[in-house]
Amino acid sequence: MSGGAAMTLADYSLAAFALLNGGRTVAYFPQMVRVYRDPNGAAAVSLFTWALFAASNVATVAYALAVANDRLVALVFALNAACCLAIVALTVLKRVRMTRPSMLAERVASMQHAAQVIAAHAPAPHHGVHVADPWRDSPSASVREEMIRQGGLS
């Protein structure tokens, strides 16, 4: 912007670029905070989308350095790429931390419950000859009947 002269379209474009991309860099932080605070492992965050945003920003950095020779544009898009990658990393960490312990605990509890249901419904030993009915005497039939009683199946 030259002193005293009217601003050109290039001047307005540069000002808009600086303002909007500076604002965009700051706007990533509320997303990062939401990922950090999300109790469900940031399930609503699309890793593919944020990785694509990061890749797009990296491509713009490469273009700015290799073709346009513009370090300012490269720096701005490098910051945007870093923020996108930070969101990806935070989301992955959140999901790994949320998934491992809870998944393992749920699986163990489910297996313990299934073992209890099977043990509770195991056929009593008969003193005579017993002809097994695979549909009635199978552990899966007992589990299914218990789930129906508890309202899990209809």
Alpha helices by DSSP H, listed for the chain, are 9-37, 47-66, 71-120, 134-137, 139-149
What does 11-22 look like in DSSP terms, one character per residue? HHHHHHHHHHHH
Amino acid at 125: P
Residue 105 has pLDDT above 90, yes or no: no
Q: What is the mean pLDDT of the chain?
A: 83
Residue 83's pLDDT band, with cuts at 50, 70 and 90, is very high
> Residue 152 in contact with residue 138, Cβ under 8 Å?
no
Residues in the chain, total: 154
Domain spans in the chain, listed from the N-terminal domain onward: 9-100
Instruction: Please report where in the chains the tokens 């699309």 appear, as a residue.
Output: 46
> Residue 45 in contact with residue 87, Cβ under 8 Å?
yes
Residue 140 has pLDDT above 90, yes or no: no
Residue 64's pLDDT band, with cuts at 50, 70 and 90, is very high
Residue 67 has pLDDT above 90, yes or no: yes
Residue 108's pLDDT band, with cuts at 50, 70 and 90, is confident
Q: Determine the average pLDDT of the residues in 125-147.
A: 63
Quick one: what percent of the chain has pLDDT higher than 70? 75
Least confident of 15-19, 37-41, 62-66, 146-150: 146-150
Residue 50 has pLDDT above 80, yes or no: yes
Quick one: what percent of the chain has pLDDT higher than 90? 51
**Residue 77, exposed/middle/buried by CB under 10 A (0-12, 13-18, 19+)?**
buried
Per-residue pLDDT, 111: 78
If one compares 120 and 14, the residue with the highest pLDDT of the two is 14
* CA separation, residue 32 to residues 35, 37, 77, 85, 152 (Å): 5, 9, 18, 11, 38
